[in-house]
C-alpha cells in the first residue's frame, strides 16, 4: 500500500510539471511572437518617424533655397524681365505684363536645381524630394530706391527612409525685395582690367565675386574661389614661363591656355555677362556730409552749403573758408564732417578700444581733433592752434537716413588728401603673418562702432595699414574673443564696423611710405575714367610682399601694383590677395553713402510661411 501510494503522488507531480512546462513554453512562444511583432512595429514606427523628419528637413531646405541658395539663380531670371528706364516711384520695374512669366521662371529654376536633398546630407538615413509651385506674382511697394514684389509659393517635400515615405506641405508668400545694391558687394570690379598690358599671376587669390567689363589678363594659375564674370567674350592669357607657343599675350575665347596659363576658376568663368556701369559722380556723398538727402543727385549750391553749415560760417557772397565743419543744429549733429579745401593729413584712430573714435585732420598749420564717444553719444572737436574745444550732442557716424538726411559717417573733402593714415604699428610684421586675425602689432584705425565713408574730390594717398578694432572674420574664435572682449557681440551676430575710401576724380594711391605686408580693410573706389588703385613707383620700389585687401576694390582701369620675375617671384611692389568681407554680400553691409549700381536688382528674398501640414 505504501508503495502504491508513493507512485501515484509521483505521477501527479510529473503531470503537474509537464503542464507547467507546456504553459511556460506557450508563454515563451507567445512572448517571442509578441516581441518580434513589437520589434517589427517599433521598426516601422522608427522608419516612419525618420521619413517624417526627412520630409521636414526637405521643407526647411526648400525655404533655405528660396531665400539663400537660389538667390543668384532667381536674380538672373528676373533681370531679364526688368525695365531699365522705369520710374521706380510710379512704375513697376518688373512690368505687370511679365508677372506670370516671373512666377514661371522662378518655379522652373527651383525645380531644376534645388529639388533634391541627398542621403549624404541626411546622415545616410534617407533622401528628400522637393517640389515648388509659384503663382499670383504681384507688386507690393515701390519708392525711388526700392520695390517689393510678392508671389505665393507651395513647397511639397517627400521624405523617404527605407520603406517609409512621408510628405509635408508648406504654403506661404515669397517677398522679393529689389533695390540698387552697393558697389561694395563686389570683391573686385573694374571697367578695364588692362589684361593686354598686365595680368593677375600665380599667387594672386580672390575669394569673392569679381567682374571686369573687359580685358581680363591671367598668367600661370591665379585662384578665383567665387564667381568670375566679364562682359567680353574672352580674356588675355599670358605665356607663363615660356611654356606656350604663340603670342604673348593671346586673346582666348575660353577659360584657359594650357599648359602655361590655366587659372583656377572654382565657380567657372562666365563670359558675355551684363556690363556693370561705374559711377563718375558722387554728389550724394557731398549732400550726406552736409546733412542733406543723399539721394538727390544735383550739386548743392553755395547758398545751400552755407545754410546747411549754419549761420556765420560763410563769408560774404556765400564763400566758405577752408576748414573742417560739422553740420549741427543748436549743438546737435545733423550731418557728417565737411572739409573745405585739401587735407595735409587725415588720421583715423580707433586704438583706444574703449568706445571712442578719433579723427585728426591737419590742414596746413591748423589741426582739428574730432573725438566720437559712443558711450556718451557726444562729439568733441578741438582746434589748434588756439585750443578751442566744442562739444556736440550726437555722432557723425552710420548711414544717412534717405529722404531727409541726418547724422552720418561721411567725411567729404573738396580737395585732395595728401596722407590718409591709421595709428601705425607697434612692431614689424613677418611675411608669413595670417590674414585673420590681423597681427596684433597693427593698431586699429576704426573702433568697433565706427561706420565711415571717406570721399575726396581729388586723389587720396595711403601711407599705412587701415584695419578694424574687431575682425569680422575672426568672431567665431573663442581665443580671439577672449583676447578682444569688446568684439564678443553674441553668437550668430556680426559687427557693423565698415570703411569706404573713394576718390571722385583721381586715383587712390599707395605711397612709397607704406610698410611691407600692407593690410587694407574696407571698400576702395576710383571710378573716374582711367583711374584706380595705384602703387607709387610700382616698378622701381623694393619687393614689399603681399597687399592684403579685405573688402573690395572698384576701379575704372586696373593699375599696376608690382612686377614679377620670369619664374613668378615678386620683383618690385606688392602681390595682391583679395579677401572678401562676407558681410558685403548683396549689399547687406556697406560703407555709408557708398555708390550703388545704376539699375535695380534683387537684393533680398524672404519666404514667409503661412501654413504647414502632412498629407
Written as one string, the DSSP assignment of 46-114 is HHHHHHHHHHHHHHHHHHHIIIIITHHHHHHHHHTTB-TT--TTTS-SB-GGGHHHHHHHHHHHHHHHS
**Residue that is last in its domain, among 240, 270, 300:** 270
Q: What is the pLDDT, as a whole number, of residue 119? A: 81
Q: What total of structural domains would you count in the chain?
A: 3
Domain presence at residue 467: yes
| Chain centroid to CA 188 | 12
Q: What is the pLDDT, as a whole number, of residue 4? A: 40
pLDDT digits (tens, 9 = 90+) for 225-260: 998 999 999 999 999 878 887 778 999 999 999 999
What is the spatial distance between Cα 201 and Cα 199, in angstroms, rounded to a whole number?
6
**Do 94 and 147 belong together in one domain?**
yes
Domain presence at residue 384: no
pLDDT digits (tens, 9 = 90+) for 165-180: 999 999 999 999 998 8
Q: Is the pLDDT of residue 304 over 90?
A: yes
Confidence of residue 12 (pLDDT cuts 50, 70, 90): very low
Instruction: Report the run of H or E that residue 521 belongs to, with start and end.
Output: strand 518-526
Domain presence at residue 370: no
Which residues fall within 8 angstroms of residue 109, CB to CB, at 6 or more apart? Answer: 70, 73, 74, 77
**Do 423 and 462 belong together in one domain?**
yes
Confidence of residue 298 (pLDDT cuts 50, 70, 90): confident
CA-nearest of 226, 198, 240, 194 to 213 is 194
Which residues fall within 8 angstroms of residue 366, CB to CB, at 6 or more apart? Answer: 323, 383, 384, 385
Domain presence at residue 41: yes
**Do 112 and 199 belong together in one domain?**
no
Domain presence at residue 14: no
DSSP string over 179-221: E--BGGG-SEEEEE--TTT--B-TT-EE-S-EEEEE--EE-S-
Among 154-163, 266-275, 418-427, 453-462, which is the least confidently predicted range? 266-275
Domain presence at residue 585: no
- Residue with the bigger pLDDT between 576 and 10: it is 576
Domain presence at residue 374: no
Domain presence at residue 368: no
| Cα pseudo-dihedral 583, 589, 595, 601, rounded to 10 | 80
**Do 156 and 246 belong together in one domain?**
no
238-247 burial string, b = 16+ CB within 10 Å, else e?
A: bbbeeebeee
Rg (CA), the chain: 33
Q: Is the pLDDT of residue 2 over 50?
A: no
Confidence of residue 35 (pLDDT cuts 50, 70, 90): low
**Do 310 and 220 belong together in one domain?**
no
Mean pLDDT, residues 337-351 = 98
**Do 254 and 326 belong together in one domain?**
no
**Residue that is last in its domain, among 247, 270, 293:** 270
Mean pLDDT, residues 188-203 = 92
**Do 86 and 143 belong together in one domain?**
yes
Confidence of residue 3 (pLDDT cuts 50, 70, 90): very low
Four-residue CA torsion sign, 319, 325, 331, 334: positive
**Do 105 and 206 belong together in one domain?**
no
Which residues fall within 8 angstroms of residue 437, CB to CB, at 6 or more apart? Answer: 471, 473, 474, 477, 480
pLDDT digits (tens, 9 = 90+) for 389-399: 999 999 999 98
Q: Is the pLDDT of residue 43 over 60?
A: no
Q: What is the pLDDT, as a whole number, of residue 40? A: 54
Q: Is the pLDDT of residue 64 over 50?
A: yes
Confidence of residue 9 (pLDDT cuts 50, 70, 90): very low
Which three-class secondary structure state does DSSP give residue 127? strand
- pTM of the predicted model as reported, rounded to 2 decimal places: 0.81
**Do 466 and 331 belong together in one domain?**
yes
- Residue with the bigger pLDDT between 282 and 227: it is 227
**Residue that is last in its domain, among 270, 300, 321:** 270
Write out the residue range of the structural domain in which residue 518 sits: 283-344+401-573
pLDDT digits (tens, 9 = 90+) for 495-548: 999 999 999 999 999 999 999 999 999 999 998 999 999 999 999 999 999 999
Q: What is the pLDDT, as a whole number, of residue 280? A: 54
Phi and psi angles of residue 56, each rounded to the nearest 5 degrees, phi first: -65, -35
Among 25-34, 193-202, 436-445, 571-580, which is the least confidently predicted range? 25-34
Instruction: Report the run of H or E that residue 306 belongs to, with start and end.
Output: helix 302-309
**Do 92 and 132 belong together in one domain?**
yes
Cell of 213: 567689363
pLDDT mean across residues, the chain: 89
What is the spatial distance between Cα 606 and Cα 600, in angstroms, rounded to a whole number?
17
Q: What is the pLDDT, as a whole number, of residue 10? A: 47
**Do 457 and 323 belong together in one domain?**
yes
**Do 154 and 213 belong together in one domain?**
no
pLDDT digits (tens, 9 = 90+) for 364-380: 999 999 999 999 999 99
What is the spatial distance between Cα 605 and Cα 75, in angstroms, rounded to a whole number?
10
Q: Is the pLDDT of residue 279 over 70?
A: no
Amino acid at each position: 500500500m505504501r508503495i502504491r501510494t508513493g507512485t501515484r503522488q509521483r505521477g501527479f507531480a510529473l503531470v503537474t510539471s509537464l503542464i507547467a512546462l507546456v504553459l511556460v513554453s506557450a508563454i515563451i512562444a507567445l512572448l517571442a511572437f509578441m516581441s518580434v511583432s513589437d520589434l517589427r512595429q517599433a521598426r516601422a514606427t522608427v522608419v516612419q518617424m525618420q521619413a517624417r523628419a526627412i520630409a521636414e528637413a526637405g521643407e526647411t531646405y526648400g525655404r533655405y533655397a528660396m531665400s539663400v541658395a537660389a538667390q543668384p539663380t532667381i536674380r538672373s531670371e528676373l533681370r531679364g524681365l526688368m525695365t531699365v528706364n522705369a520710374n521706380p516711384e510710379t512704375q513697376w520695374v518688373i512690368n505687370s505684363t511679365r508677372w506670370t512669366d516671373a512666377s514661371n521662371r522662378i518655379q522652373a529654376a527651383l525645380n531644376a536645381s534645388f529639388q533634391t536633398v541627398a542621403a549624404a546630407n541626411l546622415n545616410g538615413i534617407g533622401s528628400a524630394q522637393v517640389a515648388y509651385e509659384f503663382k499670383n506674382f504681384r507688386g507690393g511697394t515701390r519708392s525711388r530706391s526700392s520695390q517689393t514684389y510678392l508671389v505665393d509659393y507651395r513647397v511639397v517635400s517627400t521624405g523617404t527612409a527605407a520603406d517609409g515615405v512621408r510628405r509635408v506641405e508648406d504654403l506661404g508668400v515669397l517677398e522679393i525685395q529689389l533695390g540698387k545694391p552697393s558697389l561694395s558687394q563686389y570683391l573686385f570690379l573694374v571697367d578695364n582690367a588692362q589684361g593686354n598690358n598686365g595680368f593677375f599671376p600665380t599667387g594672386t587669390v580672390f575669394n569673392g565675386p569679381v567682374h571686369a567689363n573687359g580685358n581680363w589678363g591671367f598668367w600661370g594659375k591665379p585662384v578665383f574661389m567665387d564667381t568670375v564674370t566679364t562682359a567680353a567674350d574672352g580674356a588675355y592669357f599670358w605665356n607663363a614661363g615660356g611654356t606656350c607657343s604663340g603670342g604673348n599675350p593671346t586673346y582666348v575665347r575660353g577659360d584657359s591656355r594650357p599648359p602655361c596659363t590655366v587659372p583656377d576658376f572654382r565657380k567657372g568663368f562666365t563670359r558675355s555677362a551684363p556690363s556693370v556701369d561705374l559711377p563718375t559722380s558722387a554728389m550724394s556723398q557731398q549732400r550726406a556730409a552736409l546733412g542733406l538727402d543723399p539721394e538727390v543727385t544735383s550739386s548743392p549750391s553755395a547758398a545751400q552749403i552755407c545754410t546747411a553749415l549754419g549761420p556765420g560760417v560763410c563769408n560774404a557772397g556765400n564763400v566758405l573758408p577752408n576748414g573742417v565743419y560739422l553740420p549741427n543744429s543748436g549743438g546737435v549733429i545733423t550731418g557728417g564732417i565737411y572739409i573745405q579745401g585739401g587735407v595735409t593729413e587725415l588720421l583715423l584712430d580707433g586704438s583706444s578700444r574703449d568706445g571712442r573714435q578719433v579723427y585728426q585732420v591737419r590742414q596746413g598749420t591748423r589741426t582739428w581733433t574730432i573725438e566720437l564717444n559712443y558711450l556718451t553719444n557726444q562729439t568733441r572737436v578741438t582746434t589748434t592752434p588756439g585750443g578751442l574745444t566744442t562739444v556736440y550732442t550726437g555722432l557723425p557716424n552710420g548711414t544717412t537716413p534717405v529722404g531727409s538726411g541726418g547724422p552720418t559717417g561721411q567725411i567729404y573733402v573738396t580737395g585732395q588728401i595728401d596722407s590718409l593714415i591709421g595709428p601705425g604699428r607697434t612692431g614689424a610684421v613677418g611675411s608669413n603673418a595670417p590674414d585673420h586675425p590681423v597681427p596684433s602689432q597693427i593698431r586699429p584705425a576704426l573702433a568697433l562702432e565706427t561706420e565711415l565713408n571717406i570721399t575726396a574730390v581729388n586723389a587720396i594717398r595711403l601711407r599705412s595699414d587701415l584695419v578694424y578694432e574687431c575682425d569680422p572674420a575672426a568672431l567665431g574664435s573663442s581665443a580671439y574673443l577672449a583676447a578682444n572682449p569688446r568684439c564678443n557681440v553674441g553668437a550668430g551676430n556680426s559687427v557693423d564696423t565698415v570703411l569706404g575710401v573713394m576718390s571722385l576724380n583721381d586715383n587712390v594711391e599707395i605711397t612709397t611710405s607704406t610698410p611691407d605686408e600692407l593690410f587694407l580693410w574696407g571698400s576702395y573706389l576710383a571710378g573716374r575714367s582711367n583711374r584706380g588703385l595705384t602703387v607709387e613707383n610700382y616698378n622701381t620700389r623694393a619687393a614689399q610682399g603681399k597687399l592684403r585687401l579685405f573688402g573690395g576694390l572698384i576701379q575704372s582701369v586696373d593699375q599696376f601694383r608690382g612686377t614679377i620675375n620670369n619664374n613668378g617671384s615678386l620683383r618690385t611692389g606688392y602681390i595682391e590677395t583679395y579677401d572678401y568681407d562676407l558681410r558685403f554680400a548683396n549689399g547687406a553691409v556697406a560703407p555709408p553713402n557708398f555708390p550703388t549700381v545704376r539699375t535695380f536688382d534683387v537684393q533680398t528674398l524672404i519666404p514667409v510661411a503661412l501654413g504647414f501640414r502632412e498629407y
